[in-house]
């Protein structure tokens, strides 16, 4: 039996609050997800949570379960999507974002690994399974978040190179004993 829309939760959504990377307002994203029959949706904008209040309000009105998160930029320029599991996770995500932006020009946030270690509780890490994924990159997340809270997410690109990267990322995840999630 094919999966129904309510079996799938998109975990890599960005809104217009991810300047130059997302285009839709949080309310429009929720409306479309509800129209498609989804029960939940995750919003994780780049280096901030500015869209989450509107996302939360729209999700409640539409009967969708909101999943809060952010895509944080690390000191080496890589990005890591963090999803909130609990009130402690929310507090830690806000602390990470604040520390990553403190003393830096707008748009140049960078979170240090030590800060991730200090504020990992209550957060789940989604490591993007694209062509840049390496075992060392995955090991860094595993060392901070552990196997239970680290996932590799992959997305079909329908291009030969993209499919090869997807299979490679899934193999890296399997060797590390990490689960793989499908995202859009």
Which residue is associated with the tokens 């839709």?
24
By CB atoms closer than 10 A (0-12, 13-18, 19+), residue 63 is: exposed
**Entry pTM:** 0.92
Instruction: Give the CA angle between residues 52, 95, 137 to the nearest 5°.
Output: 90
pLDDT of 109 reads 85
pLDDT tens sequence for the chain (184 residues): 445 555 789 999 999 999 888 899 999 999 999 999 999 999 999 999 999 999 999 999 999 999 999 999 999 889 999 999 999 999 999 999 999 988 888 878 889 889 999 999 999 999 999 888 999 999 999 999 999 999 999 988 777 777 888 899 999 999 999 999 988 7
Q: How many Å apart are CA 33 and CA 35, to the nearest integer?
A: 5
Q: What does DSSP assign to residue 3?
A: P
**Where do the H-state alpha helices sit in 36-159?**
52-62, 87-101, 113-118, 135-145
pLDDT of residue 158: 73
The pLDDT value given to residue 131: 85
H helices of 106-159, where? 113-118, 135-145
Reading the block at residue 95, the tokens are: 């602390």
* Residue 104 near residue 116 (C-beta atoms within 8 A): no
The region, left, alpha or beta by phi > 0 then psi within -120 to 50, assigned to residue 17 is: alpha
């Amino acid at each position: 039996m094919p999966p129904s829309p309510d079996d799938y939760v998109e975990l890599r959504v960005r809104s217009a609050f991810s300047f130059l990377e997302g285009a839709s307002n949080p309310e429009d994203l929720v409306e479309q997800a509800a129209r498609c029959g989804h029960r939940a949706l995750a919003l994780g904008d780049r280096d901030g949570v500015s869209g989450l209040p509107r996302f939360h309000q729209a999700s409640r009105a539409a009967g969708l379960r909101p999943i809060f998160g952010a895509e944080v930029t690390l000191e080496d320029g890589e990005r890591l999507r963090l999803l909130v599991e609990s009130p402690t996770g929310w507090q830690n995500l806000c602390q990470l974002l604040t520390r990553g932006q403190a003393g830096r020009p707008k748009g140049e946030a960078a979170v240090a690994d030590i800060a991730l270690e200090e504020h990992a509780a209550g957060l789940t890490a989604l490591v993007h399974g694209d062509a840049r994924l390496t075992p060392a990159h995955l090991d860094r997340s595993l060392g901070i978040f552990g196997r239970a809270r680290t996932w590799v997410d992959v997305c079909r690109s329908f291009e030969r190179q993209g499919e090869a990267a997807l299979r490679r990322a899934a193999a890296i995840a399997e060797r590390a004993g990490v689960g793989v999630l499908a995202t859009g």
